[in-house]
Amino acid sequence: MERLNYIIQKTPKKINTADNKLILEHFGFLSNNNKDLSLAHMKAPIGWSEPFQQPEFDEYTFIIRGKKKIIIDGDSIILEKGDSIKINKGSRVQYSNPFDEECEYLSICKPAFSIETVNRDKQ
């Protein structure tokens, strides 16, 4: 029996959110039960924001277009098209798009994102 050394993901799992952010998870806990790493293509609408969180995973973000505001342990950062960042697990972080255009980006979490390990503040 031949063993494949790769996986092609042509149909990502669409994750429904209450805040109108589009999440297409290509690899991860919800799309293929991968707990080691998640890879998602996201679009954050104008005016979008999440509550503060303190995740138990490292998160890498790459901005495809638009801008994204990130508050990390009290520091405010604005990422623009072509920028990338790694945020270490355990950091207190908030993501938002207070700008006048949609923000499209890629997110990689290691280990994989899960609602149980993101540790969002109660709103």
Q: pLDDT per residue over 36-73, tens digit each?
A: 999 999 999 999 999 999 999 999 999 999 999 999 99
Going by pLDDT thresholds of 50, 70 and 90, the confidence category of residue 18 is confident
> With 80 as the cut, is the pLDDT of residue 2 above it?
no
Any idea where the domains of the chain sit in the sequence? 14-118
CATH architecture of 14-118: Sandwich (2.60)
User: Which pLDDT belongs to residue 123?
Assistant: 66
User: pTM to 2 decimals?
Assistant: 0.92
> With 80 as the cut, is the pLDDT of residue 1 above it?
no
Backbone angles phi, psi at 48, to 5 degrees: -70, 145
- Please state, rounded to an integer, the average pLDDT across all residues of the chain: 94
